[in-house]
């Protein structure tokens, strides 16, 4: 089971796309580093058997702000599952990294109780097709309520505005799902991954554009409580207009 603990004040961010190599772990690590640099107390929960995010944490230099790691893929016979998946009390932001090729059941479990869901997409024809499928699965299988506005897409490794990216943008637009950032294809992300840091922790003049985009993501993530509140209001308004229409009949 992929469920993670509930806590009202925990910003629980799930990054997923069953397509391999689209940038899930890159996003998880860079967002976590951004929060850590800002003085927050983030944790990463890694469900991927490859353990890329855990390995990144292992490479993290000791003088950098700390990020707690939870190796959710590993199972222990010596501890209960909930003990293994426990999130420290002072954690305010939990980033959940997921594996490629997850099942429908896992998709439901992972997204339940999430405050935000990020889907990184590479703007190639095949990847945008796969992205349309995962968005459809999130809405129809995992029953993510669009009113809650917790779902967003990040275009990753873009070189230019391709036809397939434009098509994906139209599709998402028709569903009211935002593309909140466009990350360029940059060696800065590769360097950061190799050194256990985020682009926020690199020479500012070198990473300005990359930092700008990660900050756009974090700004959107920071609005999770307002988005949730707005979503509840929209759902409430819809319900009351339906019942008003029913009683007017
Ligand atoms: N914007 C980018 N620019 C350059 N390289 C990138 C970028 N995003 C990701 N990469 C590189 O692409 C590779 C795959 O990225 P990453 O591991 O984040 O994908 P993933 O979705 O987590 O993959 P998996 O499904 O295997 O877990 C990595 O080597 C990473 O450094
Ligand atoms: Mg990964």
Q: Which of 17-26, 31-40, 123-132 is the least confident region?
A: 123-132
Closest Cα to residue 135, out of 115, 123, 147, 120?
A: 120
Which residue minimizes the CA distance to atom 29 of ligand 1? 190
Q: Is the pLDDT of residue 2 over 70?
A: no
Q: Is the pLDDT of residue 112 over 50?
A: yes
Which residues lie across from 155 on neighbouring strands? 121, 182
- The pTM is what? 0.91
pLDDT, tens digit (0-9, with 9 covering 90-100), for 85-105: 889 989 999 999 999 988 999
Question: All domains of the chain, ordered by start, with CATH?
Answer: 11-223 (3.40.50.300)
**Per-residue confidence (pLDDT) for residue 154, from 0 to 100:** 95
Break the chain down into helix, strand, coil percent, rounded to 5: 50, 15, 35
Query: What is the atom index within ligand 1 of the atom nearest the CA of 184?
Result: 1
Q: Which of 24-28, 141-145, 226-230 is the least confident region?
A: 226-230
Q: Is the pLDDT of residue 53 over 50?
A: yes
If you average pLDDT over residues 36-47, what whole number do you get?
A: 96
Report the residue among 14, 17, 18, 21 best suited for mutation to probe ligand 1: largest number of ligand atoms under 8 A from its CB: 21
Burial class (CB in 10 A: 0-12, 13-18, 19+), 108: middle
Query: Between these two residues, 78 and 21, which has the higher pLDDT value?
Result: 21
If you average pLDDT over residues 24-49, what whole number do you get?
A: 96
- DSSP reduced 3-state for 197: coil
| 224 Cβ inside 6 Å of ligand 1 | no
pLDDT, tens digit (0-9, with 9 covering 90-100), for 62-93: 999 999 999 998 777 777 778 788 899 899 99
């Amino acid at each position: 089971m992929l469920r993670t603990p509930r806590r009202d004040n925990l910003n629980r961010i799930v990054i997923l796309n069953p397509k391999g190599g689209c940038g899930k772990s890159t996003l998880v690590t860079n967002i976590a580093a951004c929060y850590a640099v800002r003085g927050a107390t983030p944790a990463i929960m890694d469900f991927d058997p490859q353990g890329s995010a855990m390995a990144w944490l292992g490479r993290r230099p000791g003088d950098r702000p700390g990020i707690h790691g939870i190796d959710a893929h590993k199972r222990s016979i010596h501890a209960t599952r909930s003990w293994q998946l426990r999130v420290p009390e002072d954690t305010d932001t939990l980033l959940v990294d997921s594996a490629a090729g997850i099942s429908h059941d896992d998709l439901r479990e992972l997204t339940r109780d999430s405050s935000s869901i990020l889907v990184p997409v590479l703007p190639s024809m095949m990847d945008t097709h796969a992205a349309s499928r995962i968005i459809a699965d999130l809405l129809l299988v995992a029953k993510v309520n669009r009113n809650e506005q917790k779902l967003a897409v990040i275009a990753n490794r873009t070189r230019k505005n391709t036809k397939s990216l434009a098509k994906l943008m139209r599709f998402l637009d028709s569903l009211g799902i935002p593309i909140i950032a466009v990350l360029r294809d940059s060696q800065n992300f590769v360097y950061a991954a190799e050194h256990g840091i985020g682009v926020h922790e690199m020479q500012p003049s070198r990473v300005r554009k990359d930092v700008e985009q990660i900050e756009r993501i974090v700004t959107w993530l920071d609005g999770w409580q307002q988005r949730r509140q707005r979503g509840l209001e929209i759902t409430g308004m819809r319900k009351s207009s339906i019942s008003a229409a029913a009683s007017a009949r």
